Amino acid sequence: MPSIRLHRCLLTFVHNDIDACWKVQKALDDQGIEYEIVKSPTHPRRRRKQVIAISGQDKVPMIEFENGSSYRAESREMAAEINAGRLFDHVGEPRHE
């Protein structure tokens, strides 16, 4: 299985569906998908330079695939895709500047 990196909030301490980053992390855990956590600055978003370089946007959670492409959607949608076994359907072409 391809390795992935979960770019998420610096602090994830509210483990419930209110926390967007936790929602996606839990879905990965529930599906047994291995991942590396990359903690991103909370504010200001412009400090999320790595997230911006990979995906072209500044929101987390964001998943980075092994080939350098990324997947970002609202956390509820991301969790649903992961739980439905469709995460790797979102592997695309790496972002080129």
What is the rounded distance in angstroms from the CA atom of residue 66 to the CA atom of residue 5?
A: 8
Q: pLDDT above 70 covers what percent of the chain?
A: 89
Q: Which of 3-7, 47-51, 78-82 has the lowest mean pLDDT?
A: 47-51
Tell me, what's the pLDDT at 7?
94
Tokens of 32: 């047994």
Q: What is the mean pLDDT of the chain?
A: 88
Contact between 55 and 93 under an 8 Å Cβ cutoff? The reply is no
37-65 residue pLDDT tens: 998 877 777 788 889 999 999 999 999 99
61-77 residue pLDDT tens: 999 999 999 999 999 99
pTM of the model: 0.86
Of 3.40.50.2000, 1.10.1270.20, 3.40.30.10, 2.40.110.10, the CATH number of 4-90 is: 3.40.30.10
Tell me, what's the pLDDT at 35?
96
